Amino acid sequence: MGKVDPETGNIIPKENRTPPKEEYVKDYGSIAVLDKVQDDLGLFEDLKACFPDIAEKIMAAAISQCLEATPFSDIEYIIDGSTIAELYKLRGNLSSAAMSELSKELGQRLSSMDHFFTQRVKRSVDGKLILDLTSVSSYSDMKGYSEWGHNRDGEDLRQTGIALVTDGRGIPMVFSMLPGSIADSTVLESTVEYLEDLGCSGRFVMDRGFENAHNVNSLLQRNVLFTMPSNIREEPIKKLLTRAASDMKSSEAFRFHEGNTYKVAEYEVGVVSVDGKDEYIVEVPRNHKDSAAIDSRFATSRKFRAFVVFDPKKASNDLDAVMEMVSDIELKYENTKPRDPAKVYSKLPAFVRRYVDYSVDEEGFMHIERKQNSFTFADNRAGYFVMFASEGTTWEQMMSSYDVRDWVEKAFDVYKTDLDGSRSRTGNPDSARGRLFIKFIAMIMRIEVQNILRDHDKETLRTKNRKDSVNGKTVDELFRTLSTVSAIGFKGNWRLSHISKGAREAFRLFGLDEPKSGRISLS
């Protein structure tokens, strides 16, 4: 107990010579918000149902990747600097070796993944399915999954295809890893079958890589609702553009969507089989020499809607792009005297050569000449695009469903590569699939945060409420604000740091009680 003071007779306690416990500072704010986001989405609940023995590790790794898309070997450092381990009662650490083992094990559990995808599909309620095909570059062939071919990122690397399906708010529901050389047009049928097996039903929204008559006919045969842009390569679709120029003169052609004005002409298009090949068909004027035969075939064809759209802002941007490119070439090469003008011209991009030619005068000076027909075509086509959709689709349904694709592509770009710019080096397809699954979970949370921020900005503009400190923030800016809320302490003895106004407002936005400085439980 101590010793007796000879003067007072009181007991003097023994001095405590044990040094004070080491205190740590950990990110609390970002983790609390992401935990609320995943809880609202039912993510951890679904992970526990499908991966009961490793759900905590998956969730911890995914939150780490959502905060910062580091190489997987650095995930342990993000977790060590945050309250992730305490929140999810993580046993052990997620070192580089542990992450390699987790990724491989996770990638081998295909049935559990399908079960998880089915759970996510059941939680979707808006009836929209946005199908996107992207790719990730790799240094390895991954036993055939990573192949040479057209690299979407313009890199001299093999690539692996990723089919990604989201709901109407851009929240990912399903992904599938595909050999990198598979073209978009050959993926659609097998992907639709796979999604139907998982219980997916609704409107498929795709990019123009999926558009061809065979794919459209396949969707019509299956009675699948769809929206996709046209490549405008087939002659019947080009004819619709010519017709639209006249039909858009009506005042009924004007439409308004998301603050922008468009002119629209709607048509019915058919798909017929000619010598075993699917082709588009449209009605033709009666004075056309084969009108009777063509219209008869059209009457018996499977039908869908084509929206020919003119966007005045896009028209200006399209022509600006052409003129900027041509002007640069004129400034660089006009009245110059290169040693080999033909070689200089041949090295210009094909898109540039479409609009300019060249000549050489008697003194050997090179002159850039604009191609009249190409400029006329660009002027006539500027601002136009064509959208395909299943029968019964309205203008608003078509436009609103396609808007979501931009959100998905921007969010997915974050996870196609690590922040240090490296590409996948794993040679094991199971490990690659497991890593993609963890990034897939991270992307679900990140897009939901992005949606909440976007909705908050829209609501502020609509109601003209006073802006708060969260308005206008990106996802990363929000995380930086939240990271100022730290948990300080050790083991079960934690307290919160000072809470800024911005952090308090962010907590409120995500439906959390405002945090208060002082003692807190992390369990």
| Whole-number Å distance between alpha carbons of 206 and 130 | 6
| Whole-number Å distance between alpha carbons of 433 and 413 | 17
Mean per-residue pLDDT, 364-369: 96
The pTM (predicted TM-score) of the whole model is 0.74
Nearest to 307 by CA among 195, 202, 400, 411: 400
- pLDDT confidence of 144, banded at 50, 70, 90? very low
Mean per-residue pLDDT, 34-44: 97
pLDDT mean across residues, the chain: 85
Cβ atoms of 323 and 315 within 8 Å: the answer is no
Per-residue confidence (pLDDT) for residue 343, from 0 to 100:
95
Mean per-residue pLDDT, 367-383: 94
- pLDDT confidence of 258, banded at 50, 70, 90? confident
| Whole-number Å distance between alpha carbons of 349 and 359 | 18
* The length of the chain, given as a count of residues: 523
Percent of the chain's residues with pLDDT above 70:
85
Cβ atoms of 260 and 313 within 8 Å: the answer is yes
Per-residue confidence (pLDDT) for residue 408, from 0 to 100:
64
Beta bridge partners of 228: 388
Q: 283 in helix, strand or coil?
A: coil
Alpha carbon separation from 313 to 220, 250, 260, 398, 420 (Å, rounded): 33, 20, 9, 19, 36
Mean per-residue pLDDT, 402-430: 58
- pLDDT confidence of 512, banded at 50, 70, 90? very high
- pLDDT confidence of 417, banded at 50, 70, 90? very low
Higher pLDDT, 295 or 125: 295
**Token couple for 376:** 């006329």
State yes or no: pLDDT of 212 exceeds 80. yes
Which of 30-44, 86-100, 193-207 is predicted with the least confidence, judged by mean pLDDT? 193-207
State yes or no: pLDDT of 11 exceeds 80. no
Residues with Cβ within 8 Å of 342's Cβ and at least 6 positions away in sequence, in order, are none
Mean per-residue pLDDT, 394-422: 65
Beta bridge partners of 100: none
Per-residue confidence (pLDDT) for residue 422, from 0 to 100:
46
β-strand pairing of 172-179 with 486-490: unpaired
Cβ atoms of 38 and 442 within 8 Å: the answer is no
- pLDDT confidence of 412, banded at 50, 70, 90? low
Mean per-residue pLDDT, 230-249: 93
| Whole-number Å distance between alpha carbons of 120 and 409 | 20
Query: What region does 421 belong to: left with phi over 0, alpha with psi -120 to 50, or beta?
Result: left
Mean per-residue pLDDT, 489-513: 90
pLDDT per residue as tens digits for the range 260-302: 999 999 999 999 998 889 999 998 887 777 788 888 999 999 9
- pLDDT confidence of 345, banded at 50, 70, 90? very high
203 secondary structure, DSSP code = E
Per-residue confidence (pLDDT) for residue 418, from 0 to 100:
40
pLDDT per residue as tens digits for the range 63-97: 999 998 888 989 999 999 999 999 999 988 899 99
210 secondary structure, DSSP code = G
Mean per-residue pLDDT, 418-424: 42
Alpha carbon separation from 344 to 47, 204, 368 (Å, rounded): 58, 45, 11
**Token couple for 260:** 């922008």
Nearest to 518 by CA among 491, 498, 502: 498
Q: 307 in helix, strand or coil?
A: strand
Which of 63-67, 125-129, 357-361 is predicted with the least confidence, judged by mean pLDDT? 125-129
- pLDDT confidence of 137, banded at 50, 70, 90? low
State yes or no: pLDDT of 146 exceeds 60. no
Per-residue confidence (pLDDT) for residue 184, from 0 to 100:
57
Mean per-residue pLDDT, 232-255: 93
State yes or no: pLDDT of 119 exceeds 90. yes
Per-residue confidence (pLDDT) for residue 2, from 0 to 100:
61
Longest dimension (CA), the chain: 126
Per-residue confidence (pLDDT) for residue 285, from 0 to 100:
80
Q: 142 in helix, strand or coil?
A: helix
State yes or no: pLDDT of 313 exceeds 50. yes
State yes or no: pLDDT of 150 exceeds 60. no
What is the SS3 string spanning 43-58? HHHHHHHHCCCCHHHH
Per-residue confidence (pLDDT) for residue 114, from 0 to 100:
94
